[in-house]
Chain A
Amino acid sequence: MTSGPVLKVTDLSVTFRTEDGPLSAVDRVSLEVGDGEVLAVVGESGCGKSVTAMSLAGLLPRSATVDGSVQLDGVELIGADKRTLRSIRGREVAYIFQEPMTSLNPVFTVGRQIGEVLQVHIGLSRQAARRRAVELLKLVGIPSAERRVDDYPHQLSGGMRQRVMIAMAVACDPKVLIADEPTTALDVTIQAGILDVLRALRERLGTSVVLITHDLGVVADLADRVAVMYAGRVVETADVHELFARPQHPYTSGLLAASPSAGRHAGTHRLNEIPGLVPVLASQPDACTFADRCPQALDTCSAKQPALESGSHRVACWNPVRQPVEV
């Protein structure tokens, strides 16, 4: 967090054209990621976090309309031409997918796949690319990397493949790494290993990370700052410790209450759920979208949309939780 933000998202809106008319998936989302910072974007399924991530990488289908601004080191990505995008992708922004089983090409060795990224983007020779691929595999903690580099993806386990994906993503030393639920498809023990790798990369390479997840454990483990999304909007953003200690939005405190914590209350304590589902919105109403599910909604909540307050701990709520909740 030295100079300005590396990635600056301002008023990003994504609307899908569907058979039932336009569908608003992301509504005026603003995010900032500083140099070497890990920003976690959390929320339930369907709240727009993956769509946000995909729009950062320009991966949305054509039925999507994207408005607003995404600036990477001052370069505007929304509406950029194909050539600009191609030169930025891989080099400046890299992406880690949720499903390691399908995100590697099954017919090439992992070394070749990592090497090709280097050959194309940095112009390394074949041998140099291979050597670098071995280094990268070591960096992400793959044992006997010299041998593994000649393995095909199907010879690796899910956790190893995810490590390979990370190696490929950081091959060109990108400024921002977008990790879309990088550990969701993995076992808990493997998850911890992957999180270690991401943390080590951030420390060694200074890569900024946008971590998309619904797992608050992952957030607590890795993130510096958190943005909580609900129904396409950012409802709260704060430093990770601040957010866990003093959640202000009722949705955030609901999320925290709904996640199990080891040790305390084990066996005796029933997890609290948030009643209802994330609404699917044809258009974003001028109201708090959480009002219907909110335990402490006021009349104002369904009449007017709350704005994010300014400050370091920002919340969009008419009646925020002021008491620290019991987790």
Chain B
Amino acid sequence: MAIADVTVTAGMPLASRRRKVLRRMLRNPLAITGLVVLGIAVLLAVFAPWIAPHEPTETHLDLAFAPPGTPGYLLGTDDLGRDVLSRIMFGLRASLHVGLLAVATSLVVGIPLGLMAGYFRAIDALISRFTDLVLAFPFLILAVGLAAIRGASLGNAAIAIGIAQIPGVIRIVRSETLRLKSLDFVSAAIVEGAGDPWVLGRHILPNAASVIIVQATVAIPAAILGEAVLSFLGLGIQPPAPSLGTMLSDAQQFAARAPWAAVMPGLAIMLLTLAFNIVGDSLRDALDPKASRR
């Protein structure tokens, strides 16, 4: 009967899709670089209290503006003699915290709304107008408003950023749902007697996952940069606690005298953003089902 079918794939190991995606990512040197940078960032952030050479808020006025390479202060110190390396480690914590919390907020709200907008035509217009409404609010006004109501804090900054990112998530999930809805396997599920929640949860969401993952990896660095903006305006993390964004903005006043205090956190933001984008990009390539046949 289907002899040809057997010989084509007989030698192929029955690798699961997930393992295959991982393997394909590990074959891409750029992806490995991105993953390594991300891994280091996460490790530094998680273990900052134990491995940081100094307290992030500990001041040594006698050692202010020490250049990089000073013994005990590898990346130098800022205007108050605080260790830049230690502050970057703790700053990474704040930045990753904001990035993940903001994106989690936008996904938790955006995914269900996007699914419903794409699947049920009746409420599509309602949800789409809501996204237009959120988009019409300038992001900073939204953040200032939220800070005025709930107080300025890192968590509120993250939520404001998350709210600003909801429309993007809704639109991406909605368009993906519209595409998937028209495919035969969704009709097949319906004629097998599946209800709407089952179709959405088992057939549409898993297939939209790759798009959502990629969107998330792009949204995290955007949130980290957003936090820098908000903290610069005093709406995010409160001094003296460090975040990469506040370090960068504080160091601007004395950038001519101690450029390292601005360059180092800037470099950290850049590397983190780049790593997230690279990982997101290669994840998208690895998840592409058309490429998986090769």
A97 touches B5 (CB 8 A): no
The answer, yes or no, to whether A151 is at the interface (CB within 8 Å) is yes
The answer, yes or no, to whether A1 is at the interface (CB within 8 Å) is no
Partner of B206, one of A103, A107, A144: A107
Q: What total count of A-B pairs have CB within 8 Å?
A: 99
A168 touches B192 (CB 8 A): yes
For A, the interface residue count at a CB cutoff of 8 angstroms equals: 47
Q: Which residues of A contact B193 (CB under 8 A)?
A: 85-91, 120-121
> In angstroms, how far is the closest chain B Cβ from the Cβ of A193?
5
> In angstroms, how far is the closest chain A Cβ from the Cβ of B185?
5
Q: Which residues of B contact A90 (CB under 8 A)?
A: 191-194
B1 touches A141 (CB 8 A): yes
A168 CA to B185 CA, complexed, in Å: 12
Residue on A with the closest CB to B18?
Answer: A107
B2 touches A102 (CB 8 A): no
B191 touches A155 (CB 8 A): no
The answer, yes or no, to whether A285 is at the interface (CB within 8 Å) is no
A102 touches B185 (CB 8 A): yes
Q: A86-B195, A168-B192 are in contact. Are A151 and B187 (CB under 8 A)?
A: no
Q: Which residues of B contact A190 (CB under 8 A)?
A: 2
> In angstroms, how far is the closest chain B Cβ from the Cβ of A184?
13
Q: Which residues of A contact B183 (CB under 8 A)?
A: 102-103
The answer, yes or no, to whether B207 is at the interface (CB within 8 Å) is yes
Q: Which of B1, B6, B9, B12 has the most CB of A within 10 A?
A: B1
Q: Which residues of B contact A87 (CB under 8 A)?
A: 193
B185 touches A157 (CB 8 A): no
A117 touches B192 (CB 8 A): yes
The answer, yes or no, to whether B203 is at the interface (CB within 8 Å) is yes
B5 touches A160 (CB 8 A): yes
The answer, yes or no, to whether B184 is at the interface (CB within 8 Å) is yes
> In angstroms, how far is the closest chain B Cβ from the Cβ of A295?
38
Q: A105-B207, A107-B207, A159-B5 are in contact. Are A89 and B289 (CB under 8 A)?
A: no
A99 touches B191 (CB 8 A): no
Residue on B with the closest CB to A54?
Answer: B187
The answer, yes or no, to whether B28 is at the interface (CB within 8 Å) is no
The answer, yes or no, to whether B43 is at the interface (CB within 8 Å) is no
Q: Which residues of B contact A106 (CB under 8 A)?
A: 185, 207, 289
Residue on A with the closest CB to B195?
Answer: A86
B14 touches A150 (CB 8 A): yes
Which of A191-212 touch B at CB < 8 Å?
193
A305 CA to B189 CA, complexed, in Å: 40
A165 touches B188 (CB 8 A): yes
B residues apposed to A, CB below 8 Å: 1-2, 4-6, 8-9, 12, 14, 17, 121, 183-185, 187-195, 198, 202-203, 206-207, 209, 289, 292-293
A-B contact pairs, 12 of them (CB 8 A): A57-B191, A86-B193, A89-B192, A95-B188, A102-B184, A103-B183, A103-B187, A105-B189, A107-B17, A143-B6, A154-B293, A157-B4
